[in-house]
Amino acid sequence: MSKYHFIGIKGSGMSSLAQIAYDMGHEVQGSDEETYFFTQEKLEQRNIPMFSYGVENIKEGYDVILGNAFDETHAEYRRAKELGLKTYTYSQFLGKLLSEIPSIAVTGAHGKTTTTTMVSNIFKHNHITSYLIGDGTGHGEKHSEFMIAEACEYYRHFLAYHPNYAIVTNIDFDHPDYFNDEHDMFDAFQSFVNQVKDTVVICGDDRLASQLKPTTAKTIKYGFNEGNDYQIKNVQTTSEHSKFDVYKNSELLGTFTMAVFGLHDISNATSAIALADINGISVEKIKESLDQYKPAERRFSEHKIGNNVIVDDYAHHPSEIKATIDSACRKYEGKEVIAIFQPHTYTRTAKFLNEFAESLETADKVFLCPIFASVREKEKIVGIEDLQKVTKDAQIINSENDFDKLNFDNSVFLFMGAGNINKLCHKFIEHKSK
């Protein structure tokens, strides 16, 4: 048994990683801000100690893991170095786990968390499986047959991983504070797939991902288009589920039914189906597992009040916003779709200002919340008023005091963003429930 201290334990990835280490029988503790984060609930269920930041938390005998939000100047990290303790970054520690067990890494600009949830759901019902999902969900097994993890491209963190298998859902320019352009993004993903040992499952419909050529791993492609190894056909969507056929090398593999509604989610599910099939899991077992699928935290999380539906979603990129609005329209045909969006980071908002406007305008009405800045950002280079100017008829919601602006009925209210808009969403649920 080892002892681990996690700096920034409430981070979505760090929380998941701490849960895995605890489940595997190790002693785990961590530090973070006192502010409540939804990710700490699963830590509390395991009685994992959480402290406020302080050098007194760093003790002899512990390995120390540094969260991605921090650098080596953090006081606790410096103390660990002074004591000569073994230290890891988040990516290094996850890379260590992935190297010890047959592993699957799920990456892509969009859909990582949802796809990791789908893959984990299939494998955990058919193999002893540990998994890390980017919504703060982690599960560890002492004698795992597979380790599944969401792999983030930001700052090229995923280059710390050398998995047996990988899924690449798409490549789309994002994180403009780090990547120069889509070519820089592509280069990062190409470097990643070059490190995969066995097979890379790639969305063949995606303009950039389809161009990836791993150095040694086999390539399997999936999607709606002709020529994919696993092709999706005959999609039927109701308010309860979607039904679709998957053809493998032009022969029917199976007909699948899932509680997903957007075409992007059906595509993501097919990547999980393909990976499971490659690893010898039967079609019947795959169907049974997908039938039990539940969305990840903050991924189209629905709350129904009367004839209204309130949705909390993590969408924070123009492509994701468009896909989320499309899902709402497909599932709730006939209801008005109201988009309430909180941009995440000044750099992303400034870079994609017009693209955000274009995506948001696919909703019936648009409301904007003040931008949620990253702790890394030192300068406010754009304001929410700038996005309002280029988004037709958009109005601003500053707080719950503006809920009167959202006085609609028989509607789908989409609260979208990667910041803290989920808190506003929960206040709106309380408001509508009165």
- Would you state the pLDDT for residue 434? 79
Choose which CATH entry (3.90.850.10, 3.40.50.720, 2.30.40.10, 1.10.287.110) describes domain 3-90: 3.40.50.720
Q: Which of 231, 317, 225 is nearest to 273 (CA)?
A: 231
pLDDT digits (tens, 9 = 90+) for 178-212: 999 999 999 999 999 999 999 999 999 999 999 99
Mean pLDDT of 31-42: 90
- Would you state the pLDDT for residue 131? 97
pLDDT digits (tens, 9 = 90+) for 221-254: 999 999 999 999 999 988 788 999 999 999 999 9
**What is the crossing angle of helices 283-291 and 112-124, to 10°?**
120
pLDDT digits (tens, 9 = 90+) for 342-391: 999 999 999 899 999 999 999 999 999 999 988 777 788 899 999 999 99
Binding site for ATP, by residue number, is 108-114
Residue ranges of the chain assigned to CATH 3.90.190.20 = 301-433
Rounded Cα gap, residues 113 and 151, in angstroms? 9
Fold of 301-433: Protein-Tyrosine Phosphatase; Chain A (3.90.190)
Binding site, by residue number, is 108-114
Task: Specify the higher pLDDT residue, 47 or 374.
Answer: 47
pLDDT digits (tens, 9 = 90+) for 139-188: 999 999 999 999 999 899 999 999 999 999 999 988 888 999 999 999 99
Residue ranges of the chain assigned to CATH 3.40.50.720 = 3-90
* CB-based contact 341:367 (threshold 8 Å): yes
pLDDT digits (tens, 9 = 90+) for 291-330: 888 776 777 888 999 999 999 998 888 988 998 999 899 8
Helix (H) or strand (E) holding 283: helix 283-291
Percent of the chain exceeding pLDDT 90 equals 81
Beta strands in 75-229 (DSSP E): 87-89, 103-107, 129-133, 137-139, 146-150, 165-168, 199-203, 218-223
- Would you state the pLDDT for residue 38? 83
Residues 6+ apart with CB under 8 A from 334: none
pLDDT digits (tens, 9 = 90+) for 102-126: 999 999 999 999 999 999 999 999 9
Rounded Cα gap, residues 266 and 243, in angstroms? 9
DSSP 8-state secondary structure symbol assigned to residue 164:
S
Mean pLDDT of 65-90: 95
Q: How many CA atoms lie within 13 A of 172 on its CB side?
A: 18
Task: Look over the chain and give the mean of its residue pLDDT values, rounded to a whole number.
Answer: 94
- Would you state the pLDDT for residue 296? 65
Query: Which pLDDT band holds residue 69 (cuts at 50, 70, 90)?
Result: confident
Judge whether residue 21 has pLDDT over 90. yes
pTM: 0.83
Residues 6+ apart with CB under 8 A from 89: 65, 66, 68, 160
Rounded Cα gap, residues 233 and 224, in angstroms? 7
Choose which CATH entry (3.30.420.10, 3.40.140.10, 3.40.50.720, 3.40.1190.10) describes domain 101-292: 3.40.1190.10
